[in-house]
Chain A
Amino acid sequence: MSRLEIRELNHAYVSNKPILKNINIEIDEPGVIAIIGPSGTGKSTLLRCINRLIQPTDGSILFKDKDVAKIKGKSLREVRRQIGMVFQEYNLVERLSVLENVLTGRLGYMSAWSAWRRNFSDKDIKRAFELLAFVGLSDFAMQRADSLSGGQRQRVGIARALMQEPVILLADEPTSSLDPKTSVEIMELLRQLAQDKGIPTLVNIHDVNLAKRYAQRMIGMSGGQVVYDGKPDGITDTHLKSIYGGESWLQ
């Protein structure tokens, strides 16, 4: 069985206005899987259904023998802690230190009482420092998160997700708020993780060229449906036209 299987997933925020229409995706292989498509086509909604930040209207999301769409309470939290998420606007807790932000990745494994006392295990703290070294932010551990630049914040976001020891990683427009050079660095980092640590990484991304460069599989979405699912070099201008509409932007 695959690590993640999305079957006939539908979602509508307002009834009769579906945003996701009958999505079927299967993910097993490590590596970057890019989801491209115009704004408002449901890419973010799809990712948020996978870790149930959004409750999908119907369909199923199979993750380790469990249907994420149906579980709740403790078993939902147990699924969530195995799914790392990286956000467009980093979503760090601004007033906490960088180290504390990374350590929040362990909250799913701790009791509320331990969380309240900041009682992280020595192993977790050691690992947090290792991850900060890995993303190149060792010197910033004790700084407040809001003192970092965009690219640095996104690295903290990635370290936080890795702290969860995720089985899969979701990245919602991780480069959209960054400059081109930093974007490439972040994509570089995500690919390295996805391949070296063998974590399947679903990345929502606007930039088709960036996606082609780093992804080993691409999923094109348009109007809430999957219209392409395959190798990056299989994507043609005809596909792009059907995904984004129009053609003037291709020149």
Chain B
Amino acid sequence: MATIVDRQNPFKTSLSTKFLWLGLFVYLAYAFTTLDIGWDRFVLGLDQGGRLLDRLFPPNFTRWELLLHDLIESLQIAIIASVAGIFISLFVGLMAARNMMPNVISIPVRVFIALCRTFHPVIIAILFVKAVGFGALAGILTLTVASIGFVAKLFAEAIEEISFKQVEAIRATGAGFISTIVFGVIPQVFSRFIGFSIYQLDSNLRNSTMVGIVGAGGLGGTLFSAFQRFDYDFVTAILLAIIALILVGEALSNLVRRIFQ
């Protein structure tokens, strides 16, 4: 004979979950009302947007020399910063990996990486423009720092996930520290490193068109002044140039990926 057990429904929504949802809705309603973004404001905006669209076309390429110059500068900023950032990240990432380094090294290096990640590239770019002056150098430094913040962290995590058995075997052959890294660690993380590096190159290409807004070289500066002078047809030309740049970057990434595989 089966005994009847009085069990609670195991899938009942908990009280705290209900409160969480309620809290979220209340906050959204509050935020909307205080920011004054109602339907009327939206319709008003649409009207303005229509006029902008009208003035964006057709794109104006009469200043193509300036455009090309800036485009090349952006590309250079992105590539130099990627190479420098990735190269530095190789060492920084290794030093941050807790399975390879004692805490006295890995903790300070982790703090350094965290600092590189703390600020948005725009803020770092402002700092570098103030520090080294207007132009491409500030952009390169900015994106190098941003690259270290991202790539070194991922490198460190990739190194922490390796199989230590392979490292142990290399160490048992009497190999020194660097040889152990070269044969025991790098083969295990190499393809992931390539993936992260390509991703960072891609991201730097996009960001290199942005740092110019605060004066750190590249297309961004020209874009910003075109906006301010209401040269909307030139803005369209710049935006098309940026799209072309990103497509070139895509082709470049594919090429690098194919070479390393």
A interface residues with partner B (beta carbon < 8 Å): 51, 53, 77-83, 85, 87, 89, 91-96, 100, 104-110, 112, 115-116, 157, 160, 164
Contact = CB atoms under 8 A, between A and B. Distances in A.
B174 A107 contact: yes
A104 B168 CA distance: 12
Given A53-B171, A112-B176, 13 more contacts: A80-B172, A81-B174, A87-B165, A91-B166, A95-B187, A96-B183, A104-B170, A104-B183, A107-B176, A107-B183, A108-B173, A108-B174, A115-B183
A107 B170 contact: yes
Given A91-B169, A95-B190, A108 B175 contact: yes
A93 B175 contact: no
A110 B165 contact: no
Nearest to B189: A95
B261 to A, nearest CB: 12
Interface string B149-177: 00000000000000101101111111111
B188 A77 contact: no
Interface residues of B, number: 23
Main secondary structure of the interface of B (DSSP, over half): helix
Contacts of A83: 172
Contacts of B171: 53, 80
A208 B175 CA distance: 34
A115 B178 contact: yes
A164 B174 CA distance: 9
B179 A85 contact: no
A176 to B, nearest CB: 14
Nearest to A97: B187
B184 interface: yes
Q: Across the A-B interface, give the 8 residue pairs with the lowest CB-CB distance, nearest first.
A: A108-B174, A81-B174, A107-B175, A112-B178, A91-B169, A80-B174, A115-B179, A95-B187
A77 B176 contact: yes
Contact of B175 (A82, A95, A100, A115): A115
Contacts of A100: 183
B250 to A, nearest CB: 27
Interface of B: 163, 165-166, 168-180, 182-184, 187-188, 190-191
Nearest to A115: B179
A236 to B, nearest CB: 35
A226 to B, nearest CB: 23
A83 B173 CA distance: 7
A18 B164 CA distance: 25
Contacts of A89: 165
A197 B125 CA distance: 66
A83 B169 CA distance: 12
18 contacts: A53-B172, A77-B175, A81-B174, A93-B183, A93-B184, A95-B187, A104-B170, A104-B173, A106-B173, A107-B173, A112-B177, A115-B175, A115-B179, A115-B183, A116-B179, A116-B182, A160-B173, A164-B174
A9 B171 CA distance: 22
Nearest to A89: B165
Contacts of A109: 174
Contacts of B179: 107, 110, 112, 115-116
A80 to B, nearest CB: 4
Given A93-B188, A110-B179, A116-B182, A87 B169 contact: yes
Contacts of A51: 172
Nearest to B172: A85
Nearest to A117: B182
Contacts of B173: 80-81, 104-108, 160, 164
Contacts of B168: 53, 87, 91
A109 to B, nearest CB: 8
Nearest to B185: A93
Nearest to B190: A95
A115 B180 CA distance: 9
A191 to B, nearest CB: 22
Nearest to A144: B187
A160 B179 CA distance: 15
A80 B169 CA distance: 11
Given A80-B173, A104-B170, A160-B173, A93 B182 contact: no
